A and B are shown apart, each in its own frame.
Chain A
């Protein structure tokens, strides 16, 4: 296993930040809610990557435990999100975000 020293950590953090930005870009540009959820998933994985990298850097199991929890949280969150998308489809016959823009002002 590659040891995570300061240099590797830096690379991993940059990778995480890239993932986060990529996910955010997806969330901001996608009109389709499914695509949006995928972007969200990318952002969450950036968090996981950060946690694992930091965990390995510091040693111990804290980072891995934290990561396991965040994975579970993300899954639950996306599951609720998908349920809401299904609801939106039943309501508007569309999964586009434009369908959910009645309430405003």
Chain B
């Protein structure tokens, strides 16, 4: 039975979509404001987006969003609400940290950037509670399509009427001018193919189960070779979104090419959304296929850990390094997913979920968001200072390579400290928040009976410290001198970027010192 056929009855419980409604109205409202505003610097739209995202974030705490809506196609539970907070929080920080950069790259076209971002967040929040194949795919695409455009936003595309340099404007470097197009195209190509693959798998699920509703599918799906193929295609399709190897090839290139504050958003929010979709499908209608999909997830984990950690080592560009290390981090996320689903066969009563594993995943995603966004913002702050040793003048802006971090502790002690904190958190060193996330994931996986995977992950994670600590070494143990012998300038950070870094650093440290309450909240959200 479809939502359309039910008429007005479908509107029962619609109030649990209040936050999503607010986001939709915000995105469209900002579009109208953008059109109505006279041409010029449209920075104010960014403030509007920030305010609305802040409101939406607050609303996830003040409103009661639990319940069922759209005749069962949408369910608001602790999991969905927690995910919404991650998405909206990531959007909030993405806007906050990117205010300056966005205004610098495309002063006249800022409006569209923020509308796209809000649309993408809307797609994610809808995805978090989807219990229907149609809603799942529509919201998944609503999330993805704006990301393609945003990845390409910022270069030559921001000046459609312009054939060459703009008089009176300092020309951005070649990198800045040409690379967003490539970043967007690569994201799009891998993304579009993966989406179609996932859609094909979902069409098979629909065909075999005879319904689009998860509740129905859970009882009608029985198994068979076609369903196995469908599961493989679905896992592959969503693995692209979370950037797990071997579906990760877009990650480093897009991270390097796109604007850094956007990458900060891209590297966390859609990945969390990908996990939300996987949780909905694999722990829901496909829970009966756990024996199959856990095998596939184990393959993804092993490959991701190996490829991510190994490829991150030789990287000189920090954004690429963070990209590859993010692939390894996703291995950890998948381990939490594995822990959540691995005992499904023994524990069918509770929706086929081990809640401890699910709680671990929720905590991991939040911890990863905080530290990873912070790391990218630190890169942005250093790169925006604009000095590249030994490079021609037209390539000097926005350099993200390791040498630009040399001696950062003497150029901006506070920024270096924040950067160190983020890197330590990503590396899983006590007592930053990432440490607890990793420890909890490993414990939870151990309890689920994957001892060998725990050992391997711990060993590779220790190897991963090498490239994280290389950044720390560059910041603290090198003289602030460039390769060409010139002294690197002091780094000044201000405005939204500063606020974002400070808030994220406080979260990383605060939750790292007192993980208890947040872990408890994650447990409750996971239904423990």
Interface residues on A, range: 35 or more
Contact A104/B212 with A47-B199, A87-B157 known, Cβ cut-off 8 Å:
no
Closest-CB distance, B391 to chain A (whole angstroms)? 16
Does A80 lie within 8 Å of B148, measured CB to CB? yes
Report A17-45 residues with CB < 8 Å from chain B CB.
20, 23-24, 27, 33, 36, 40, 43-44
* Partner among A40, A88, A91, A101 whose Cβ is within 8 Å of the Cβ of B192: A40
Does B179 lie within 8 Å of A102, measured CB to CB? yes
Does B200 lie within 8 Å of A20, measured CB to CB? yes
Whether A11 is near chain B, meaning CB under 8 Å from some CB there, is: no
CA distance A80 to B181 in the complex (A): 12
Q: Given the complex, which residues of A lie within 8 Å of B177, measured CB to CB?
A: 91
CA distance A13 to B517 in the complex (A): 51
* Partner among A50, A65, A100 whose Cβ is within 8 Å of the Cβ of B2: A65
Whether A1 is near chain B, meaning CB under 8 Å from some CB there, is: no
* Partner among B137, B156, B186, B210 whose Cβ is within 8 Å of the Cβ of A87: B156
Does A84 lie within 8 Å of B185, measured CB to CB? yes
Q: Given the complex, which residues of A lie within 8 Å of B395, measured CB to CB?
A: none
Does B200 lie within 8 Å of A84, measured CB to CB? no
Q: Given the complex, which residues of A lie within 8 Å of B211, measured CB to CB?
A: 62
Complex interface: stretch among B201-209, B412-420, B478-486: B201-209
Does B195 lie within 8 Å of A77, measured CB to CB? yes
Does A50 lie within 8 Å of B182, measured CB to CB? no
Nearest residue (CB) in B for A86 is B157
Whether A76 is near chain B, meaning CB under 8 Å from some CB there, is: yes
Whether B445 is near chain A, meaning CB under 8 Å from some CB there, is: no
Closest-CB distance, A76 to chain B (whole angstroms)? 6
Whether B155 is near chain A, meaning CB under 8 Å from some CB there, is: yes
Q: Given the complex, which residues of A lie within 8 Å of B4, measured CB to CB?
A: 61, 65
Closest-CB distance, A41 to chain B (whole angstroms)? 9
Does B155 lie within 8 Å of A36, measured CB to CB? no
CA distance A79 to B203 in the complex (A): 23
Does B133 lie within 8 Å of A91, measured CB to CB? no
Whether B145 is near chain A, meaning CB under 8 Å from some CB there, is: yes
Whether A8 is near chain B, meaning CB under 8 Å from some CB there, is: no
Nearest residue (CB) in B for A28 is B193
CA distance A50 to B521 in the complex (A): 42
Q: Given the complex, which residues of B lie within 8 Å of A85, measured CB to CB?
A: 185
Contact A104/B253 with A44-B199, A87-B157, A87-B184 known, Cβ cut-off 8 Å:
yes
Interface residues on B, range: 35 or more
* Partner among B1, B134, B188 whose Cβ is within 8 Å of the Cβ of A81: B188
Whether B256 is near chain A, meaning CB under 8 Å from some CB there, is: yes
Q: Given the complex, which residues of A lie within 8 Å of B149, measured CB to CB?
A: 80, 83
Nearest residue (CB) in A for B226 is A13
Closest-CB distance, B192 to chain A (whole angstroms)? 5
Does A54 lie within 8 Å of B256, measured CB to CB? no
Residue in A20, A36, A87 whose Cβ sees the most chain B Cβ within 10 Å: A87
Chain B window 394-419, contacts with chain A (Cβ cutoff 8 Å), 1 for yes, 0 for no: 00000000000000000000000000
Does A62 lie within 8 Å of B182, measured CB to CB? no
Nearest residue (CB) in B for A77 is B192
Nearest residue (CB) in B for A89 is B181
Does B183 lie within 8 Å of A103, measured CB to CB? yes
* Partner among B137, B156, B186, B204 whose Cβ is within 8 Å of the Cβ of A91: B156
Does B145 lie within 8 Å of A80, measured CB to CB? yes
Nearest residue (CB) in A for B187 is A84
Q: Given the complex, which residues of A lie within 8 Å of B320, measured CB to CB?
A: 105
Does B181 lie within 8 Å of A87, measured CB to CB? yes
Contact A50/B207 with A88-B185, A90-B157 known, Cβ cut-off 8 Å:
yes
Residues of chain A having any CB pair with chain B under 8 Å? 13, 20, 23-24, 27, 33, 36, 40, 43-44, 46-47, 50-51, 53-54, 57-58, 60-63, 65-66, 69-70, 73, 76-77, 80-81, 83-85, 87-88, 90-92, 100-105
Residues of chain B having any CB pair with chain A under 8 Å? 1-2, 4-5, 133-134, 137-138, 141, 145, 148-149, 152, 155-157, 177-179, 181-186, 188-189, 192-193, 195-196, 199-200, 203-204, 206-207, 210-212, 252-253, 256-257, 320
- Could you list some 11 contacts between A and B, CB below 8 A? A24-B193, A50-B204, A51-B203, A53-B207, A54-B206, A70-B199, A73-B137, A84-B185, A87-B156, A87-B181, A87-B185
- Nearest first, the 8 closest Cβ-Cβ pairs linking A and B are A54-B207, A50-B203, A103-B253, A100-B182, A43-B196, A91-B181, A87-B181, A58-B210
